[in-house]
Amino acid sequence: MLLLSKGLNNNILLRIRNIRRIYRQSLTNEKLSVDEFKSLLENVVFYQPHIYLNMNVTREVTITSTITDALIRLDMKSAVHDIRRFNYVCKLVKYLLMHRLHTLSGRSQIYLIELLKVIMNHGEKAFQFLQPCSFREL
């Protein structure tokens, strides 16, 4: 059991070192080769944001979650930059703007507009060399 925990700790330490090296590389002029970067990135486990929704109200647990809290906890602004989550965020924003904007609270509306600005900025940076007609319909 001790050997297993040592191996596990070494694995975690290796992942932390890889994250630190990638972070340092992004702050300095030191550039990693593509192969080095891919090998470092393969060993890193990415955290997927999540939120626990309690459907039953008990005396002990009286937590309520609004849509704004859920959007903030799910880190939708950084999800725009993640290829795997971009389409989901765009569809969610489109649905909320078209069907639910008038029923949302003021804080939710402001957050939704900020999220829309982040999406537009990301789209503008990603497609700056293409013609304006190639922007994705939001």
Per-residue pLDDT tens for 58-71?
Answer: 776 666 678 888 88
CA 80, distance to chain mean position in Å, is 7
The pLDDT confidence band at residue 83, using thresholds 50, 70 and 90, is confident
Distance CA 13, CA 18 (A): 9
Mean pLDDT of the chain: 74
